[in-house]
Amino acid sequence: MDASADALATADAVDVDPAVGLTASDVAERVAGGRTNAFTADTSRSVWNIVRANVFTLFNGIVFACFFVLFVLGRWQDALFGLAAFANSIIGCVQEFRAKAALDRLALLNAPKARVRRDGAELELVPADIVLDDILVLRAGDQVPADAVVVDTRALQIDESMLTGESDAIDKRPGDDALSGSIVVSGEGAARVTRVGADSYANKFAGEAKRFSLVASEVRGSVNRVLKFMSWIIGPVGLLVLNAQMVVAGGWAQAWENGGWVQAVVNTIASLTAMIPLGLVLMTSIAFAVGAAKLAGKQVLVNELPAVEGLARVDVICLDKTGTLTAGEITFDALHEMAARDGSGRADPAASGIDAVLAWYGAAPDANATARCLREPFPVVTELQPAAYIPFSSARKWSAASFGTAQPGTWVLGAPEMVFGDAAADPATELGRVVTGLASSGRRTLVLGYSNTALSDADVVAERLPEAVAAVAVVTFREQVRPDAAQTLAYFGEQGVSIRVISGDNPRTVAAIAREVGLDVPEGYDARKLPDDDAELGEVLEQHTVFGRVTPEQKKRMVVALQARGHVVAMTGDGVNDALAIKTADIGIAMNSGAAATKAVARLVLLDGRFSHLPDVVAEGRQVIANIERVSMLFLTKTAYATGLALLFGVLLLEFPFLPRQLSITDGLTIGIPAFFLALLPNTQRYVPGFLKRSLTFAIPTGAIIAVALTLYTLGAKSLGVDEPELRTGSTIILAVVGIWVLTVLSRPITRFKALVIGAMFLGLVGVFTLPLLTEFFQLVDPGEEAAYLVAVVTVLTIAAIEVVRFIHRRFVARALAAAGV
């Protein structure tokens, strides 16, 4: 038997007097048995796991090994590439530490104290000290600290909206469950604890929500696929290059004897580190971090950096009504008086005290949230004292009061269909016509009824209404719709993002709110009719927009079903009942007014609760993904030509034409530094799937052209008798000039700012090749007159070939965008 079942069995077997509670020996026995409410959930991810995932990777292992070897060989000048690997690891760790900190702060149970009855006395304890079978003393404002069964109640009402999504408080009777994490809104009572610690409802939610997962990111996924592919080939290619360098050094035996193996190892390291697109990983992290910082200035907290990109890819957004479309509050709307009649159909003059009665209902000590909305429009003028009173119950959804001679007869306030039955929903009746008309406009309706007959003691005990109750007035209330909801939903509609409104409330009410914010929807779909089969569920979700009476588990299933149909799903909400769906969605968005659990698992948190920030997030995501696509072509072109060079020079048994430090020139001035600026430029291009494919269709042919060009230059230079230092310098010049040209091609159209960046990089290259201190550090020499001509010819031909590739690539991208409707 599992722990939960065992706890329940134990609880059912114990008979505890609610007036006395547990004795000291009972408590000691349970503490010794570990049946306490103490709960320390496993952290989302350990510090060691985060460090291991970001530092001890295959590529970091290769890079750091190369870094270490060069230091051992005394060639620290060639180890500059290690800085990018260090930066990658630090940014990755910091990013996941932030996400871990948010998840570890998750706490559904935040009540500072809990009241229990032990040995006949009432005690205040921290929730962790509660034990199984304790008798909880519950009063208005308390948070239920552990799952319990109600054993005594005096008009006890509990709000479970943060757990179940049902916005109305629930009337609790003996034998009913009181879930941990719910709030007592009125009345008082006692409840016996049935589940504690990890078995409680709230902590089970926390356990599932705290499972670590990274947000789905096409950029990160694409980069990881490139890295995975490179991991398969880097070993064999490295051995191929090392063999070629050792052969060039005179053969393996002679190279070991004369020390030529040192240069062979350095050349091999140069080829391997050039193949790894470390800068792309670093630039992606920087772009995400800058995007997150910009959004923070707009009151949007990004819990995980790739979420900046994620919303740009979303094509379905699921919205919780309460707290998202609405502010989670209701307000008085209007009073619609009707001709009051007694049971015989005659006008009843006694029903003229409507304002005084509504004032009493609003001011009543046990008034629920809806009744309290009556206090402002109906201030108390005449004090009424009930002679008989049946308090409101969420089960029967009405309350009744008789005030003696002050207001003769009985007054009833409640849900129309619960007081008057089918007549309240029949448009053929006067009441039905008024109620259905108002309800269809999104208003919440209550009816005020009157009977000439006062409540008897028997009526109060049996909780029944007197005969001949007639409708006197219909009272309407409105949920406060967020003023920016309609505008934001219209924006998503224009962008081709479909909407699903998901709520625990009545489907008709949810549909009316949806219509109020601009959605053209019929009546909502009752989630109690949702199919169990996931494929059928997906079909229902495609056909309907508004869903009511949705449970937290169903919300999660709905998100999964949409994802199974190929959708990228965003989920917004504020209640604990939304936490699992928000965690499961590709992008989870929480309101800052929501539960701590929901904010902790969300990728994005709207700090001021304004829906209108979401277009800003979309725009920022588009800028990130469009700019990274552009700069990725720079880095992937480098990976392509480095891999091509390694293969060609390995097969042809040629000495690798660069030192690692010389590759740092082109890495920094033609790729790394300009990519940083390009990644932060404004870009409003709409997201189109296929980021990696579009990047590779430019990078691979361009890289192949550069690799072939450098190989031909090396063969030509050797045929002219050019020495290795001059040959390396000539190769560096070709790669630098071609690199600047690739940068220019990918920056088109050239703006003033882009021209400034490209010009600065060109001046930097001129400085590297002319300043004595830099030429000495990078071991650059005069390539010689003959080699200079060869450098010029190879450079011009390479640039021409790249222009052809770019022309073909632009036509390919244009067709892809046209197919996507962009």
Give catalytic residue positions: 320
Region class of 609: left (phi > 0), else alpha (psi between -120 and 50), else beta: left
Strand 147-159 and strand 170-171: the pairing is antiparallel
Long-range contacts of 800-804 (CB under 8 A, 24+ apart): 801/705, 801/709, 802/702, 802/705, 802/738, 802/741, 802/742, 802/745, 803/745
DSSP annotation string for 205-249 = HHHHHTS--PPP-HHHHHHHHHHHHHHHHHHHHHHHHHHHHHHHT
Query: Locate tokens 């329940």: which residue?
Result: 8
Up-side HSE of residue 247: CA atoms within 13 Å toward CB?
A: 14
The values of phi and psi at residue 440, to 5°, are: -70, -15
The one-character DSSP state at 278 is H
Buried b (16+ CB within 10 A) or exposed e, 612-627: bbbbbbbbbbbbbbbb
C-alpha dist (Å) from residue 573 to 122, 158, 214, 620: 38, 21, 19, 21
CA distance 804 to 697: 13
CA distance 466 to 450: 10
Chain center to CA of 523: 29
CA distance 722 to 24: 94
Helix residue spans in 364-429 (DSSP H): 369-372, 416-420
C-alpha dist (Å) from residue 744 to 89, 678, 737, 739, 762: 30, 11, 11, 9, 11
CA distance 334 to 624: 49
Q: Which amino acid is at 233?
A: I
Asked if residues 216 and 586 have their Cβ atoms less than 8 Å apart, the reply is: yes
CA distance 343 to 348: 9
C-alpha dist (Å) from residue 444 to 43, 397, 510, 551, 575: 43, 13, 11, 21, 21
CA distance 776 to 661: 11
The residues that bridge with 121 in the sheet, in sequence order, are 118
Asked if residues 668 and 635 have their Cβ atoms less than 8 Å apart, the reply is: no
Q: How are the residues of the chain apportioned to helix, strand and coil, as percentages rounded to the nearest 5?
A: 55, 15, 30
The one-character DSSP state at 750 is P
